[in-house]
A and B are shown apart, each in its own frame.
Chain A
Amino acid sequence: MSQLMEAKDTFLSLFDEASSDRSGEPGWLRQLRQNAMDRFGEMGLPKATDEAWRETSIKPIVEGTFGRSSSSESALASDYYYKGFDAHQLVFVNGRFNAERSNIGDLPAGVKLTNFADAVTKYGEMVQDYLGRLCDWKERSFAALNTALAGDGYFLHVPKNTVVDRPINVLWISEPGDQAAASFARNILIVEESADVKLVETHIGPQGTTYLTCPVTENFVSANANVDHYVVQDDSTKAFHIGEQCLEQGRDSRFRSHTFTFGASITRNGVFGYLRGENIDSILNGLYVLRGKQHCATFMQMEHIAPHCDSHELYKGVLDEESSGVFRGRIFVHQTAQKTDAKQTNQNLLLTDKAQVMSKPQLEIYADDVKCTHGATTGQLDREALFYLRSRGLRKNEARALLIHAFASDLTERVQIDAIRDKVEELLWERLPRS
């Protein structure tokens, strides 16, 4: 218990240290931060007995000390991580916007794309209107921490009927130096009626470094808008990544998200979706490829509030060595959400006897005319398929790699942006066992 208290104090003092950063902020924001910090003070960090955290030990985070990194420079910032990716680029280093390395370029008229701090200054009213509307910081410790300590993330507003052709890439680089650092990116994405945008959130850090990154994105997708959303997480395997995507969709809108998790020692991907209008299409896909003692937990909650909405989730895991995975998904169909078509699938491939996974897709249905299914499978490589491939001349490691790749390619193939698909393919091949 005392350790939890100490850890809490670490974050409380982080808040105090940052007070000078906040001095120029508007009163409403300072108040929001203070309220969120007070709430965090009441809740503390998640305990091992909390249902939502039962399978995810945050002990290493509790035991760590995380300061604030002053550096906004990184050697990794010299390229944009992807090859040949023609995108509007925003770069953050250790949670700070790096204007020099960023290359936002020309955007269609009316599109607002900037960093959080700048948005507070320039578009204060809009930020006030949206910030914290979807992210339930009163209920979740890390969401409260993020709200209190919200540092640089992106702010994107795409006006009605506007199509942003080139994708937007937001690259967070954590390179804390000697001292482990914590960063709390807070992102707001507002896509107005019939607008269209593709956005990539990318998280990287040098191997071997320890840091804590807690990004939160609030996605507001208005009627008939279309959003392709990607998260590529390739953090240091000693880092901790506790992230959250909050989503609200209006009628006839489409949101397709793809979350790729390769890095971090402990990853938690929270997804909280609210389907508020009719005829929404929401597709959430995820792939986690883990080895060593990596842990990745997906915690998802989708609420169907209006009729005729589809939500399809496909999450796959490849777990090697002593890694572990958790999938907890819950689709909640309100009584008003007739004709819901919801499908939640979690499939895991365990490559060793020591890898483990806990999968629990759940449905909670209060409407009577719906089509809802969920399923989870966990298995090992098919021995007969391995023999089949070897009998055709493929060596054992080639046969294994081919089968693992086939399992995962289901998700990599859905990526619509070539540079992103090439990168996740590359990361996948890199991680396939060679022995």
Chain B
Amino acid sequence: MIEIKNLHASVEEKEILRGINLTIKPGEVHAIMGPNGSGKSTLASVIAGREDFEVTDGSINYFGEDLTEMEPDERAHAGVFLAFQYPVEIPGVSNTYFLRQAVNAMREARGEDELDAKSFLDMVKKRAAEVHMNPDLLKRQVNFGFSGGEKKKNEIFQMAVLDPKLAVLDETDSGLDIDALKVVADGVNALRNENRMILVITHYQRLLEYIVPDFVHVLVDGRIVKSGGKELALELEKEGYAELEAQTANA
């Protein structure tokens, strides 16, 4: 379980998150929607532990531990996964090598033996099939020369391989055509289970037709101003954020 309480966070001394409260339980899929600049990606970054983001108040309790005290790699070892809004190109490193390093780093942190090359490849191929990814992606350099869609698919593929407890998808749908969107959504849906927590951050309601969330939250100006079921997304689609933004401004 992840329990975010009164979370305040700043970048370069500018406060972006101004009191977030959010609890996600195993098996739940939560969606966070909101206009540009509302703090959606900041929330994702703070959960994953990106430098430059300073938590000034509040807490993130993750299975009884204070997530904000952990290094980014320790968070990953504890099962936190962030699908990046802008996956990073790393020329000179093959996807296979990178993933094997990642998998073995996780195993080492859990006190397990390293996977040998064959067991690793078998596992990776199995996971690729589960999320309908082309295993050819493995041979290529990490995100290097990938199309926007391929990069996002690669994120979901990594998620499948790393098997996280908490997956945060930061605008994974942005910029995707409908075919790529379906592949990404199918991948995420295949990874839904009773143990996994998923936080979908999106700008567009369309994604939520394919990944149907249990809860929807609206983030405006660093605060969650409205929460509800999946129908909230439709409501927002009709009315837009303008009214909510106006309400916040008046508050």
Total number of B residues with any Cβ neighbor in A under 8 Å: 28
Q: Once the chains bind, are A388 and B87 in contact (CB under 8 Å)? A: yes
A393 at the interface (CB under 8 A from B): yes
Q: Give the distance in Å from the alpha carbon of A119 to the alpha carbon of B187 in the complex.
A: 70
A391 adjacent to B72 (CB under 8 Å): yes
The proximity string for B residues 74-87 relative to A, scoring 1 for CB distances below 8 Å and 0 otherwise, is 01110001101001
* Chain A residues whose CB sits within 8 angstroms of the CB of B50 once the complex forms: 387
Q: Which of B71, B75, B90, B109 contacts A388 (CB 8 A)?
A: B90
Contact code string A166-183 (vs B, CB < 8 Å = 1, else 0)? 000000000000000000
- Chain B residue with the shortest CB-CB distance to A385: B88
> Within 8 Å CB of B109, what residues of A?
393
Q: Shortest CB–CB separation between residue B109 and chain A, in angstroms?
A: 7
A52 at the interface (CB under 8 A from B): no
B73 partner, pick from A382, A385, A393, beta carbons under 8 A: A393
- Closest residue to A399 on the B side, CB-wise? B73
- B-contact 0/1 string along A132-158, CB 8 Å cutoff: 000000000000000000000000000
- Does any Cβ of A come within 8 Å of B49's Cβ? yes
- Tell me, in angstroms, the Cα distance from A370 to B101 when the chains sit together: 45
B72 to chain A, nearest CB (A): 4
| Pair A392/B102 contact, Cβ less than 8 Å | yes
B93 located at the interface, meaning its Cβ lies under 8 Å from any Cβ of chain A in the complex: yes
- Size bracket of the A interface: 20 to 34
A383 contacts across to B, CB distance below 8 A:
51
Q: Is B124 interfacial (CB-CB < 8 Å)?
A: no
Whether A393 contacts B90 by the Cβ 8 Å rule is no
The answer for the CA separation of A383 and B73 in the assembled complex, in Å, is: 14
Selected from A382, A393, A406, A407, the residue in CB contact (under 8 A) with B102 is A393
A-facing mask of B201-231, CB < 8 A → 1, else 0?
0000000000000000000000000000000
A395 — which chain B residues lie within 8 A by C-beta? 73, 105
Give Cα A346 to B48, complex, Å: 35
Pick from A393, A406, A407: contact of B105, CB below 8 A: A393
> A6 in the interface, Cβ–Cβ < 8 Å?
no
Q: Which one, B49, B71, B91, B98, contacts A392 given CB within 8 A?
A: B98
Instruction: Please name all residues of chain B whose beta carbon is closer than 8 Å to the beta carbon of A407 when the two chains form the complex.
Output: 92
Kindly list chain B residues whose C-beta atoms are within 8 Å of the C-beta of A293: none
Contact status A393-B77, CB under 8 Å:
yes
Which residues of B (130-161) have their CB < 8 Å from a CB of A?
A: 158
Contacts of A303 in B (CB 8 A): none
B181, CB-defined interface residue at 8 Å: no
Q: How far is the CA of A319 from the CA of B64 in the complex (A)?
A: 42
**In the complex, what residues of B have CB within 8 A of residue A389's CB?**
90, 98, 102
Q: What's the nearest-Cβ distance from chain A to residue B179, in Å?
A: 26
| Residue contact B93 to A391, C-beta cutoff 8 Å | no
Establish whether residues A398 and B88, one from each chain, have CB atoms under 8 Å apart when the complex forms. Answer: no
Whether A388 touches B88, Cβ cut-off 8 Å, given contacts A394-B102, A394-B105, is yes
Which of A395, A402, A407 gathers the greatest number of chain B CB atoms within 10 Å?
Answer: A395
In the complex, chain A residues whose CB is within 8 Å of the CB of B75: 391
Given contacts A396-B73, A398-B105, A402-B101, contact A391 B49 (CB under 8 A): yes
A392 close to B76 (CB less than 8 A):
yes
Give bound CA distance, A398 to B101, whole Å: 9
Q: For residue A405, which residues in chain B have a CB less than 8 angstroms away from its CB?
A: 92
Question: Which of A391, A399, A407 has the most chain B CB atoms closer than 10 A to its own CB?
Answer: A391
Distance (whole angstroms) from the CB of A411 to the closest CB of chain B: 10
Instruction: Report the minimum CB–CB distance from B207 to chain A (whole Å).
Output: 22
A101 at the binding interface (Cβ < 8 Å): no
Given that A393-B73, A393-B162 are known contacts, is A406 also in contact with B91, CB under 8 Å in the complex? Answer: yes
B166 within 8 A of A: no
Q: In the assembled complex, which residues on chain A have CB atoms less than 8 Å from the CB atom of B103?
A: 393
B106 adjacent to chain A (CB < 8 Å): yes
Interface hub of B48, B82, B90 (most chain A Cβ within 10 A): B90
Contact present for B82 and A391 (CB under 8 Å)? yes
A390 touches B92 (CB 8 A): no
A102 within 8 A of B: no
Chain B nearest CB from A57 CB (Å) reads 33
Task: Tell me whether A403 is interfacial, beta carbon within 8 Å.
Answer: yes
Cα distance, A390 to B102, chains bound together (Å): 9
A362 proximal to B (CB < 8 A): no
Interface centre among B73, B75, B87, B109 (most CB of A within 10 A): B73
Measured CA separation A402–B73 after assembly (Å): 15
Give the chain A neighbours of B88 by CB distance below 8 A. Answer: 382, 384-385, 388
Question: CB-nearest residue of chain B relative to A394?
Answer: B105
- Expressed in whole angstroms, the minimum distance between the Cβ of A380 and any Cβ of chain B is 14
Residues of A within 8 A of B158 (CB): 392
Q: How far is the CA of A384 from the CA of B71 in the complex (A)?
A: 15
Report the separation of the CA atoms of residues A309 and B92 in the bound assembly, to the nearest whole angstrom.
Answer: 29
Known contacts A387-B50, A394-B102, A395-B105; A406/B71 CB under 8 A: no
| Residue interface bits B104-121, CB-to-A below 8 A is 1, else 0 | 011001000000000000
**The 4 nearest A-B residue pairs measured at CB:** A406-B92, A393-B76, A393-B105, A390-B72
User: Could you show 22 A-B contacts with beta carbons less than 8 Å apart?
Assistant: A382-B88, A383-B51, A384-B88, A388-B87, A388-B88, A388-B90, A389-B98, A390-B49, A391-B48, A391-B72, A391-B82, A392-B98, A392-B105, A393-B73, A393-B77, A393-B102, A393-B103, A394-B73, A396-B73, A398-B105, A403-B93, A406-B90
Interface, chain A (partner B; CB < 8 A): 382-385, 387-396, 398-399, 402-403, 405-407, 409-410
